[in-house]
Copies of this chain bind each other. A is one copy, B any other.
Amino acid sequence: MITVLCGGVGAAKFLEGLVHANLGEEIVAIVNVGDDEEMYGLHISPDIDTIVYTLSDLVDRERGWGVKGETYQALNRLKELGAPAWFTLGDRDIGLHLFRRHLLDVGHTLSEATAEIGKSHNIPLRMLPSTNQRLRTMILAHGETEELLSFQRYFVERRHQPTVKGIFFTGSSEAKAAPGVLDAIEASRIIVIAPSNPLLSIAPILAIDEIAKAMAAARHKTIAISPIVGGRAIKGPADRILDSLGYPVSPLGAAKILAPFISMMVIDDVDTNLSREIEELGLEVFITNTMMVDLATKVELAKSVTNVSKELQ
């Protein structure tokens, strides 16, 4: 079994490579729910949805998220009617959120709803939300004023422009790991922390005490792939956030955050010069091409990361 801790787009790409690498092992994706947002009664799980859309090939490859060939009739009506409509919701995407709402309304947990959604899309791996409780990432953002924003309000409504002064995970102290999560961490041959934002996508998973403890105990078999390449985030505001919160804007920053939970850091060829500093954190370093620009490079990364893991045993 291979377990992957997942945020959104970067994780979805890595999972795509892992699936197509045909390793003959069960794959479990433990997915961040801190970005989830409820609006108009819909329950939106952006990281789960991005994985679903990517692995079912419904994804808009241009954007990396959402559904290809999408239309916006419902959203346009909401705008006409004067509803808050800062979150881009396509009609086909709304279909999925209505389905999730339906599953939750008839009494399913988020885990069960996620499994059902995975099944309906023929997703060839097991997706587990990190928790079934309400854990939400809140951003203390400094733009014109200082505000506490939900992740999506910071990320989408404010286009991640405000400076991030702090990140909080409301509900994390009450949250328990969803069923299957701790077992997967314990039973897996290898755990991969996907190239997702360590502070925004991975930290909310590790903010659940049970998961942090299980991950710390599984440190010897855990590898992280840096989402920062050549001093820049591949996608999103990770570079600016690392900087504003006092971390090096490099794989070293990611390594410092994740060090208690990993024994190896995967960095891109362009960051070879950082090897020594990362090693000084007590981590092994694996250098390879981490840029997943097409299916071949995704599969290549999945193969090399799962292969190098054998050196950890």
Contacts and interface: CB of A to CB of B under 8 A. Distances in A.
A187 to B, nearest CB: 30
Given A41-B42, A120-B80, A120-B81, A74 B92 contact: yes
A161 interface: no
Contacts of A75: 95
A298 interface: no
A78 interface: yes
Interface stretch (A96-104, A136-144, A240-248): A96-104
Interface in A117-144: 117, 120-121
A121 to B, nearest CB: 8
Query: On chain A, which size bracket covers the interface?
Result: 20 to 34
A95 B81 CA distance: 9
A22 interface: no
A279 to B, nearest CB: 48
Nearest to A39: B102
A83 B102 contact: yes
Contacts of A42: 41, 98
A80 B70 CA distance: 16
Copy number in the complex reads 2
A82 interface: yes
Nearest to A74: B95
Given A40-B101, A98-B42, A92 B73 contact: yes
A311 interface: no
B78 A95 contact: yes
Interface in A33-64: 39-43
Nearest to A105: B41
Nearest to A91: B73
A70 B73 CA distance: 8
23 contacts: A40-B101, A40-B102, A41-B41, A41-B42, A41-B98, A41-B102, A41-B105, A70-B73, A71-B71, A71-B91, A73-B91, A73-B95, A74-B91, A74-B92, A75-B95, A76-B92, A77-B92, A77-B96, A78-B98, A81-B117, A81-B121, A82-B120, A83-B102
Interface of A: 39-43, 70-71, 73-78, 80-84, 90-92, 94-96, 98-99, 101-102, 105, 117, 120-121
Given A40-B98, A78-B99, A94-B98, 9 more contacts: A41-B43, A70-B73, A73-B92, A74-B74, A75-B95, A81-B95, A81-B99, A83-B102, A94-B94
